[in-house]
Amino acid sequence: MGTVVHAADPQPAEPPLDSLQWAVVNSLRHPERKTPEELLEAAVRSAAVEALGPTLEFLDLFDKALAADADPEATLAKLGDSFPVGELIQLRRFLEAAAPPDDAAAIAKLIELLRAASESRRTDPARLARAAADLQSDSRGMRQRAAETLLRGGTAALPVLIDLIGQAAPPAGALEQA
């Protein structure tokens, strides 16, 4: 996958953390965060209190965790679907103002990778075809998840929906019983 985010060495001189920054950063370090999701969240939270050193540290750990992940693309897609875009933009703005240019550029690249992976996952034809098939499930929950998947697929879901419309309808009342 390669390096997504890289903290520049040496790190720029930063004033010591005040009590609020220290409390937030300390709460983010304990218990130790290990997954890409946890580390990205920690980077965002430390950036929210303008703690540059810890933000870069968490981003470096995020990069290592993502590189070690069994399926980095799936992890990026999951993060792209679930992580609030506004928080990522705030992280980018903080790094653009406070960090070396390489780090700000790396976070912009990360945001683009998250968006692209999420879009690829949402529009994956095989995933959309499974969701269309799941619309005929006996489980109400499965049908609901399938409908949400197809809705998020947007216009990419049209081919599978058109195929579904062309199929014979289930007997009247069959889905209401589930």
Per-residue pLDDT at 99: 86
Where do the structural domains in the chain lie, given as residue ranges?
19-122, 125-166
**Residue-wise pLDDT tens digits, 63-99:** 999 999 999 999 999 998 888 888 989 999 999 998 8
Q: Which pLDDT band, with edges at 50, 70 and 90, does 23 fall under?
A: very high
40 closest CA partner among 2, 78, 96: 78
DSSP secondary structure, 72-100, as one string = HHHHHHHHHHHS-HHHHHHHHHHHHHHS-
Q: What does DSSP assign to residue 154? A: G
